[in-house]
């Protein structure tokens, strides 16, 4: 759990120095800096902002760098400094580290915010990241494989981009990379598939709570990004000409995706209603209605999609925290080294009262730390219902106002 949080020169924030509790509510007007505070914690955990890629966009105007520092309750300290030229300095326990994943491991953050609410309609990247967040924290071997895969893929794509025709030497090099890609791909798929399987029942449980009317109708599927019954290098070889035309690699783990499907339910008929009367059954046009299947994004209303995305994210936490049965525990081979931090940005504007109550009551039962932003204090009665000693911070023009 974050015991102390310090943020300097991030957007409009005046240097922040907070001692957060298990549940924290940040209240303030539009533009007061609430989201920037969440952005700071996300930056520390992931090495990037959830709003802009370029550091110069979020580093305070006329400053050279933004810094976020956190002290965890077990004494560990984490720090990140982002400079305008995108140089990043990372520290764990005052020692410089060179790999963001080291900090990510120490501070898992789960974000539920308005920008992620379009995830079903966007390209596959955000849905793939959703799965990979779980896989990263639950499967120790995943990250090194993913890094090695990405490195080879980058080399391959830059060769494809330069050339329409390859020399013999380049072809031999490409084949060697493809072999490497194939072996990383098989493992990455293996990790993702195992975590996906373990995640599904949690997703169904969250849907039953947040979208009960669709409990029987929504399901998830995982697409590996290539045909996993054939080694990836064989498939890459078969489609080399197409990839050369395109200038990039079209299949592989980097194209994996998560889909949410909707299917209709057959109308339920009263017992024996049609058995004695085949003519009546034939006359009833609903009797033989086929089961319809669709992408959930094409069926659900905007509000329902938000609930679905909330269910996707929320269902990850109990799995990650191993609050389920031993079967799920056996899937998790990476011991979680820190309390997950849940960042809820402006949920009152996104979700209805019932959904907010389900979200908060679920989070209050889990060993996680919560930071939520709100324009008004209308959320406080609910927060006090579920947490014993929440911290309430009021923000104005980038500063936390002193407690009254």
Binding site for ligand ATP (CB under 6 A): 11-12, 28, 30-36, 58-61, 375
State how beta strands 341-344 and 369-374 pair.
parallel
CB of 363 to ligand ATP, least distance (A): 20
Instruction: Kindly tell me which of 61 and 389 has the beta carbon lying closer to ligand ATP.
Output: 61
Q: Is 324 annotated as a binding residue?
A: no
Q: Is 32 annotated as a binding residue?
A: yes
Instruction: Kindly tell me which of 31 and 367 has the beta carbon lying closer to ligand ATP.
Output: 31
Cβ atoms of 263 and 204 within 8 Å: the answer is no
Give the DSSP H or E segment for 391.
strand 391-396
State how beta strands 109-112 and 341-344 pair.
parallel
Q: Is 33 annotated as a binding residue?
A: yes
CB of 118 to ligand ATP, least distance (A): 16
CB of 6 to ligand ATP, least distance (A): 17
Phi, psi of 18 (to 5 degrees): -120, 150
Beta-bridge partner residues of 26:
373, 393
Distance, in Å, from the CA atom of 317 to the CA atom of 332, rounded to the nearest integer, reads: 13
Q: How many other β-carbons are positioned within 10 Å of the β-carbon of residue 130?
A: 18
Q: Is 31 annotated as a binding residue?
A: yes
Q: Is 30 annotated as a binding residue?
A: yes
Instruction: Kindly tell me which of 66 and 195 has the beta carbon lying closer to ligand ATP.
Output: 66
CA neighbor of 60 nearest in space, from 43, 38, 82, 78? 82
Cβ atoms of 182 and 224 within 8 Å: the answer is no
Cβ atoms of 383 and 389 within 8 Å: the answer is no
Give the DSSP H or E segment for 326.
helix 326-331
Alpha helices, DSSP H only, in 211-315? 232-238, 240-246, 278-283, 302-314
Nearest 10 degrees: Cα torsion 144, 150, 151, 156: 150
The encoded tokens of residue 33 equal 């800096």
CB of 191 to ligand ATP, least distance (A): 35
Instruction: Kindly tell me which of 30 and 53 has the beta carbon lying closer to ligand ATP.
Output: 30
CB of 43 to ligand ATP, least distance (A): 13
Instruction: Kindly tell me which of 60 and 100 has the beta carbon lying closer to ligand ATP.
Output: 60
CB of 375 to ligand ATP, least distance (A): 6
Instruction: Kindly tell me which of 363 and 400 has the beta carbon lying closer to ligand ATP.
Output: 400
Q: Count how many Cα atoms sit within 13 Å of the Cα of residue 211 in the half-sphere of its side chain.
A: 27
Distance, in Å, from the CA atom of 68 to the CA atom of 8, rounded to the nearest integer, reads: 6
The encoded tokens of residue 316 equal 């990850």
Q: Is 221 annotated as a binding residue?
A: no
CB of 257 to ligand ATP, least distance (A): 30
Q: Is 35 annotated as a binding residue?
A: yes
Instruction: Kindly tell me which of 59 and 138 has the beta carbon lying closer to ligand ATP.
Output: 59
Residue 297: left if φ>0, alpha if ψ -120 to 50, beta else—which one? Answer: alpha
**Binding-site residue ranges for ATP:** 28-35
């Amino acid at each position: 759990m974050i015991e102390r949080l310090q943020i300097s020169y991030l957007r409009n924030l005046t240097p922040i120095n907070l001692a957060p509790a298990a549940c924290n509510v940040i209240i303030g007007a539009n533009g007061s800096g609430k989201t920037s505070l969440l952005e700071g914690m996300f930056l520390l955990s992931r090495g990037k902002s959830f709003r802009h890629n370029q550091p110069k966009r979020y580093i305070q105007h006329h400053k050279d760098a933004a810094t976020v520092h956190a002290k965890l309750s077990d004494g560990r300290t984490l720090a990140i400094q982002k400079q305008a030229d995108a140089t990043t300095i990372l520290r764990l326990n005052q020692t410089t580290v060179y790999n963001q994943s080291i900090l990510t491991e120490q501070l898992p953050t789960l974000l539920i915010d308005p920008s992620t609410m379009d995830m079903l309609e966007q390209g596959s990247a955000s849905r793939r990241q959703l799965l990979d967040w779980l896989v990263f924290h639950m499967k120790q071997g995943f990250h090194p494989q993913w890094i090695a895969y990405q490195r080879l893929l980058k080399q391959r794509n830059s060769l494809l981009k330069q050339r329409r025709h390859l020399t013999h030497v380049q072809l031999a090099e490409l084949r060697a990379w493809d072999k490497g890609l194939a072996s990383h791909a098989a493992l990455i798929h293996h990790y993702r598939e195992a975590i996906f399987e373990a995640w599904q029942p949690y997703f169904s449980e969250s849907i039953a709570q947040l979208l009960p009317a669709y409990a029987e109708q929504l399901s998830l599927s995982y697409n590996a990004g290539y045909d996993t019954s054939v080694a990836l290098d064989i498939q890459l070889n078969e489609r080399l000409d197409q990839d050369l035309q395109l200038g990039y690699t079209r299949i592989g783990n980097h194209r994996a995706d998560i889909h949410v499907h909707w299917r209709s339910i057959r109308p339920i008929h009263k017992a024996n209603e049609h058995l004695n009367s085949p003519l009546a059954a034939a006359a009833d046009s609903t009797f033989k209605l086929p089961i319809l299947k669709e992408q959930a994004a094409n069926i659900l209303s905007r509000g329902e999609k938000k609930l679905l995305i909330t269910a996707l994210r929320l269902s990850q936490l109990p799995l990650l925290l191993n609050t389920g049965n031993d079967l799920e525990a056996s899937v998790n081979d990476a011991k979680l080294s820190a309390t997950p931090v849940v960042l809820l940005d402006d949920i009152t504007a996104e979700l209805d009262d019932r959904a907010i109550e389900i979200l908060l009551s679920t989070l209050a039962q889990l060993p996680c730390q919560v930071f939520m932003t709100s324009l008004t204090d209308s959320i406080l009665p609910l927060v006090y219902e579920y947490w014993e000693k929440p911290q309430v911070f009021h923000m104005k023009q980038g500063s936390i106002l002193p407690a009254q």
